[in-house]
Amino acid sequence: MINFEEEIDRFRPSLEVEEVSDAIVKTDLTDMTDIMMEIMKAVKDN
């Protein structure tokens, strides 16, 4: 059984075009390669 109230509440607003530049700035671009580099650096320092 679907609870419609809950379903509707789960919908999130779409990102507006004007907010794109802010969203790009806030995007976390850390990837696995960055993490691996950090780990290797920490190991080397210790």
Partner 1 sequence: MDYFQIIQYVANSYYNRGLELARERDLSGAAGYLKRALQFNKYHMDARNLLGLIFYEMGETSDALIQWVISVNLQPDRNPADHYLDEVQRKQGQLEVASQTIRKYNQALLHAQSGSDDLAVLQLKRIVEEKPNFVKAHLLLAVLYMAHEDYTKAGKSLLKVLQIDKNNEKAGRYMEYVKARTGKADVERRKLKNAFSHREMEDDDVILPPTYKESTGWQAIVNMVIGLVLGVVVVLFLIRPAWERSLNYDHNQEMQEFADKLNMANQEADNLRQQIAQYQEDKERTEASLNSLAGDSDSTLSQYQTLVRILDAYRGNDFQTAVQLYIDMDPSRITDESMADILNRLKADMDANAPAVLESLAASATAAGNADLALHYYEKYMEMNDRNPQIIYNMAMIYKAKGDEDTADQLFGQVIMNFSDSALAARAKEQRGY
Contacts with partner 1 by CB under 8 A lie at 2, 4, 7-9, 11, 13-20, 23-24, 27, 29-34, 36
Residue 23 and residue 15 in contact, taking contact as beta carbons nearer than 8 Å? yes
Residue among 18 and 45 whose Cβ is closer to partner 1: 18
Please, which residue, 31 or 45, has the CB nearer to partner 1? 31
> How far apart (Å, rounded) are the C-alpha atoms in residues 19 and 27?
12
Helices (H), the chain: 4-10, 20-26, 32-45
Nearer to partner 1, 30 or 46 (CB): 30
